[in-house]
A and B are shown apart, each in its own frame.
Chain A
Amino acid sequence: MADYVKMWENLGMDLESHDMLCQVLPTAVGDVFMTQENRPKAMDFWDLVISEVHGIRPAELIEEQKKGRKVFGTFCVFVPDEVIIAADGIVTGLCGGSQFWVPGGEEVLPKNTCPLIKASVGARLGRTCPFFRIADVYVGETTCDGKKKAYEILGQDVPMYIMDVPQMKRPKDILKWKEEIAEFAEKVEEITGNKLSADKLKEAIRIVNEKRKAMKRVYDARKSVCLPISGRDTLLMTQISFFDDPERCAKMCNRLADELEQRIKDGVSVVPEGTKRILVTGTPLAVPNWKLHNIIETSGAVVVCEEMCTGTRYFENLVDDSGETLDDLYMALSERYMKNNCACFTPNPGRIDDIIRLAKEYKADGVIDCSLKFCGLYDIEKKSVAEALKAEGIPVLSLETDYEDSDAGQLRTRIEAFVEMLNG
């Protein structure tokens, strides 16, 4: 591993504590990923990135900052990357997926806050994540009460900008989100010092659309009965895509998709024929949260699709770039982003339609609906998801978990029983 200690020191990180985090990650990566057989060769890129996840990309970001570019840290797939990219800004994901950060979050947040929020706050306040140190500004959004309030706490420590996501999907809500995007664009211009133009925004839309198409190509390969990639590997690809440069991300995803498509032609599958195919749905799985996929894929089944923000919700639907004015393009952005069927909307029938559609497209034998503990939105929606799936004759298992390993045994029992049930 390259020596990043100096960089971390300059970022004001807590090196001692960060060392502890760095010690557990390689073991987790080894256990979850390297134990798999017959992985696609093109995973080498993501293996490298994850092996130095706090080194390679942060170093790149710092180099860009030296040239005067600004880094925007985001927590959610609602923040329109296109606007930031059009103003020559850089977007990086910030979500925390490790139990390591949870106790730090609990020092300032109630215990019954979802682990994603606790970990994100803990990562910032504990000074153990370089991305949280590098970002010039954090962009939050109002997708849940926990985040709204947590941003107030983070805002005492870093510059925060909050986008107000509508709660419903009426035409006036889509207009409202367009206005939010337009206002955000002004803020982005101010932070970056770069004026936006329709041409620049169109180019940014093209870049992000290309990334979406490339990710979709990888996902499409998973629809094949001959399954060329595991759920764990795809999840890693998706998680890292939140942090990577969008053009390189598209290139790497296309490179992986090429290999996967060839594998399908050659009949190369990562699982024996008849292995039960699972679609997972629910709350996001932020890096390095691989717990659910790891348990499913070591219980005799395989994950073929994620109807999640770290999954199809991230890349489905392209932005229409035919508009000629900034106003047209903001509207096109709003229309695309408002197609996201997050449980923060009411009512939210689109998510159920998506799950059923995806279960069929990806030939899933069953669905696992898993939410993070204390996420009321997704937890409550489980009932309608389960009813709709049962009406379609698709078996479903509803689960709730957090980042701790202590419930791994109980999760495994439920997942193994579900797989036994699917196997008949």
Chain B
Amino acid sequence: MDGKYGVGIDIGSTCAKTVIIDSEGMIVWKDLRPTGWSSVDTAEAIRKDLPPEIRNNEKTRFVATGYGRVSVPFADKCVTEISCHAKGAVKLFGLRDLNVIDIGGQDTKLIVIRGGAVTEFIMNDKCSAGTGRFLEVMANTLSVSPAAMCRMAEQGNETRISSLCTVFAESEVINLIGMGTPRENIAWAIVDSIVQKVKTQAGKIRLEKEPLCLTGGLCDFSYVQKKLEIVFGRDVLTTPDARFAGALGAAEYAVLSG
């Protein structure tokens, strides 16, 4: 143990995740908070909350990732969320060959990892269809939390919304509400729309037989995991720390940096 720490800060569109690892790679601290309206302020607040002995240690290295990675003024380096999620997932799942499905706040990524390195990736285009934001907007329309909506969906029956656009899909949901469709069925349709979108994206990339691993904010919702297993026709692995995959990967890059 040389007393060096790696701090990985993943500023996502919805949540900011922080992981600190020691030089042995053990997680010694983690933090999750809303990104809020200012990435710079959030990054500064995180820095203040770090354990002082780590924050003030000159051997500590900081790596920022996520869409707000350029808004972390004290970062030694920025690395994209693709590389960080991949590195974090390799560690979290203990696999060298795997595929990562990351459903984040504003984008959904599929990452093919072979021999511990990224070989291919795809991200959704500019629109928010099939992302955490989509789920959040729809849950709002149904006046429930995203978690409650996922539980509700489990009780629902097959219902479809056809629009991929969040704005149009919202009007479709409002239409379903107007027709008296049970909330459970609407919730079913919303989750279905997200996983179908992920499946469509997967058509453009070579996942092969390697395990599918879910990271990102939706990994807490077991129903999303279950639905992904249904559309992909195979197991989808996840772990409670999977939403920290990007921050963990960033922390590993930090330890590796000079």
Contacts from A to B (Cβ < 8 Å): 383, 386, 390, 395, 398, 400, 406-407, 409-410, 413-414, 416-418, 420-421, 424
Contact = CB atoms under 8 A, between A and B. Distances in A.
Interface in B97-118: 107, 117-118
Interface in B72-125: 79-83, 107, 117-123, 125
Centre residue among B80, B121, B122, B125 by max chain A CB count within 10 A: B80
Contact of A424 (B79, B80, B81, B117): B117
B67 A413 contact: yes
Contacts of A418: 121
Instruction: Give chain B's interface secondary structure class.
Output: mixed
A420 B83 contact: yes
A421 B121 contact: yes
B126 interface: yes
Interface string B175-211: 0000000000000000000000000000010100000
Nearest to A397: B121
A414 B107 CA distance: 12
A298 to B, nearest CB: 12
A386 B79 CA distance: 25
CB-based closest 3 A-B pairs: A417-B82, A417-B80, A420-B83
A416 B80 contact: yes
A386 B122 CA distance: 12
30 contacts: A390-B120, A390-B206, A395-B119, A395-B120, A398-B122, A400-B125, A409-B67, A410-B123, A410-B126, A413-B67, A413-B80, A413-B81, A413-B82, A413-B123, A414-B82, A414-B123, A416-B80, A417-B80, A417-B81, A417-B83, A418-B121, A420-B80, A420-B118, A421-B82, A421-B83, A421-B117, A421-B118, A421-B119, A421-B121, A424-B117
A406 B126 CA distance: 9
B108 to A, nearest CB: 12
Nearest to B111: A417
Given A410-B107, A417-B83, 4 more contacts: A398-B204, A417-B121, A421-B82, A421-B119
Which of A407, A413, A417 has the most C-beta atoms of chain B within 10 angstroms of its own C-beta?
Answer: A417
Contacts of B117: 421, 424
A51 B125 CA distance: 34
B65 to A, nearest CB: 10
B82 A420 contact: yes
A93 to B, nearest CB: 29
Contacts of A413: 67, 80-82, 123
A385 to B, nearest CB: 12
A413 B68 CA distance: 11
A400 B80 CA distance: 19
Nearest to B125: A400
A420 B122 CA distance: 14
Contact of B79 (A400, A409, A420): A420
B163 to A, nearest CB: 15
A410 B125 CA distance: 8
A417 B120 CA distance: 10
Contacts of A395: 119-120
Contacts of A407: 126
Nearest to A421: B118
A386 B205 CA distance: 9
Contacts of A420: 79-80, 82-83, 118
A414 B82 CA distance: 8
Contacts of A400: 125
Contacts of A386: 204
A416 B81 CA distance: 10
